[in-house]
Structure 1
Amino acid sequence: MTSSNVYIAAILAGIAVPAAAQDMAATTPAAQEEAVSAAAAQVAAGPALTVTGSTALVTDYRFRGVSQSDKGFAVQGGLTVNRETGLYAGFWASNLAGWGTFGGPNLELDLFGGYKLPVAGGTLDVGLTWYMYPGGAKITDFAEPYIKLSGTTGQLSLLAGVAYAPSQEALGNWSNTPTSVAGEKEDNLYVWGDAAYGIKNTPVTLKAHIGYSDGNPGLGPNGTSVAPTGRYVDWLLGMDVLVGPVTLGVAYVDTDIDTSSPEYLQLQPNFSSTKDGSSIAGSKVFFSISAAF
């Protein structure tokens, strides 16, 4: 639903948006009256709809610690429609290269929807992400329900999440399955936690992520798998700096995937960068520039 960067961006958006709203409120009295009238009309018409979005350029697209852009640049963006009742739906997309590409435009398109409700001073978010690869090979799409609990205390925002994709062909261990049994299905579990700390009176936010994957130890029907070596841990440490309307980010990402393990070796050469043969799950420092609206 979407990569770890997406979930951290959601936390950071929660920190940045209130400040932006305060700036927008400092307008002329006439404009304020017009805004109040519009808000009143919106309330009279029923639950309001809001549309939020983001766009980003990253030097590497990491999904749960693994590069989906062959350790190269990616352009990403998405939109979310939110209803006052807590319902929401939207999409997020990124270009792909190397591991995770299935032909066509080499595009990942995530459709998602869910419901948010306040719980014990925080927010409970229950939803589903449908991962799509338009125009690519068959048996690529899969669905993944998720539950997230988030909250803020002072300058610190925390999020814990569980995503579980039930058994589906797109997640199957096809590389270790006889051709006569093609169509084998596997499930996938991902548990993660995110943290973001906004340094007071500065435009700087520190961020961290850790996740655990448990899924297919081999290759799926098209030579990839959402959890590429079965069970592994990924983590990220980084910093974002708000500069006007854009956010500049830098982060260090890594996994504990053992490149000498039999599980890793059976994924070769698929699991290596097409540029230099290096692991696409190894450590890397990457940069990003993004904007939310």
Structure 2
Amino acid sequence: MRTASAALEARTDMRSRGISDSEGELALQVDGSLPITSHIVLDANATTLRGARRHGGSELGIEIAPRYVTSSDGWDFSAGARGHVFIDAGELDYIEIEGSVSRTLGPAWLTLGASYAPSQDAIGGDNLYLSADIGAGIPGSPLALYAGIGQTIGSTNDAERAVRLRPDGDYTNWYLAVERSRLNFAIGMELSGTSIDQDSARDTRYWDRHTGTRLAGYMRVSF
């Protein structure tokens, strides 16, 4: 059976799918994972949002994600739901259904994931996010390399709120990262970006301009 875990992380810019969740500023996140049974796991995190416009000026975001996990023939499978709650932001909370499949080969791993948010007023339509992430530890070294790419697509019934997850319509995001870890402490750098047009004018209150290429640093302590 899996064991409970927790971590505290600080980032110079807390990004999600290539878009800042913290107005491009330093943010903190605490997260934890609690196994309920051998197949049911409850994940949760809390993040300082620094009054992010895309989340209605909220200062704190909370995610709660129960999921079912299993393994077969070297593959790990996960399926569940994720609720996004934004404190003091009005009716901007939303939910996603998500699933992933992962494989580890020696020091390397691959994860393919999908998250779907059914049409909700909080996000001005529906939203589908597809992703692929890879990582590998460098043998004989405390360093690990990570990379990933994602595609966001969806429909719009409220253009003002749709920019929360798709600021310029459907888009692609990517990231490259290097991390050094020792015992329960890790430090790293991550370069990320999106295909979102940085020159497009925006007149909606939920528009966040922090969608371009950005190098961010982070530190994490695990428990």
Structure 2 contact 36–42 (Cα < 8 Å) conserved: no
Partners in 2 of 1:119 and 1:219 — Cα distance? 43
Partners in 1 of 2:47 and 2:207 — Cα distance? 19
What does residue 216 of structure 2 align with? 286
Structure 2 contact 96–115 (Cα < 8 Å) conserved: yes
Partners in 1 of 2:111 and 2:55 — Cα distance? 30
1:102 aligns with 2:56: yes
1:161 aligns with 2:113: yes
Partners in 2 of 1:84 and 1:201 — Cα distance? 35
The structure 2 residue matched to 1:234, chosen from 155, 170, 173, is 173
Shift of 1:194: 0.7
1:265 aligns with 2:201: yes
1:193-232, aligned counterparts within 5 Å?
Answer: 193-215=132-154, 218-220=159-161, 224-232=163-171
User: 1:46-83: CA deviations, max 9, x gaps?
Assistant: xx673111110000011110111111100001111114
- Going from structure 1 to structure 2, the CA distance change for 1:99 and 1:135 (only over 3 Å counts) comes to closer
- What is the identity percentage for the equivalent residue pairs of Structure 1 and Structure 2? 25
Query: Alignment partner of 1:265: what SS?
Result: coil
User: 1:232-260: CA deviations, max 9, x gaps?
Assistant: 00000010100342100101000011224
- Going from structure 1 to structure 2, the CA distance change for 1:81 and 1:171 (only over 3 Å counts) comes to same
Letter in 1 for 2:82: T
Query: Alignment partner of 1:220: what SS?
Result: helix
1:150 aligns with 2:102: yes
Q: TM-score, normalised by structure 2?
A: 0.91
Structure 2 contact 168–197 (Cα < 8 Å) conserved: no
Shift of 1:226: 1.7
Query: Alignment partner of 2:23: what SS?
Result: coil
Structure 1 contact 127–146 (Cα < 8 Å) conserved: yes
The structure number with the bigger radius of gyration is: 1
Query: Alignment partner of 2:4: what SS?
Result: strand
Letter in 1 for 2:212: G
Letter in 2 for 1:203: P
Query: Alignment partner of 1:50: what SS?
Result: coil
| Higher strand content, 1 or 2 | 2
Structure 1 contact 171–216 (Cα < 8 Å) conserved: no
What does residue 60 of structure 1 align with? 13
Partners in 2 of 1:49 and 1:157 — Cα distance? 19
Structure 1 contact 80–88 (Cα < 8 Å) conserved: yes
Partners in 1 of 2:68 and 2:203 — Cα distance? 37
**RCO higher in structure (CA 8 A, sep ≥6):** 2
Partners in 1 of 2:57 and 2:215 — Cα distance? 28
Aligned residues: 220
User: 1:128-149: CA deviations, max 9, x gaps?
Assistant: 1000012321x21111001100
Partners in 2 of 1:257 and 1:103 — Cα distance? 22
Letter in 2 for 1:162: A
- The two structures, once aligned, show a CA RMSD in angstroms of 1.9
Deviating 4+ runs (over 4 angstroms)? 267-270
The answer for unaligned runs of 5 or more in structure 2 is none
What does residue 88 of structure 1 align with? 41
User: 1:172-218: CA deviations, max 9, x gaps?
Assistant: 1xxxxxxxxxxxxx110000011111000111000001100113563
The structure 1 residue matched to 2:130, chosen from 191, 194, 212, is 191
Partners in 1 of 2:70 and 2:2 — Cα distance? 16
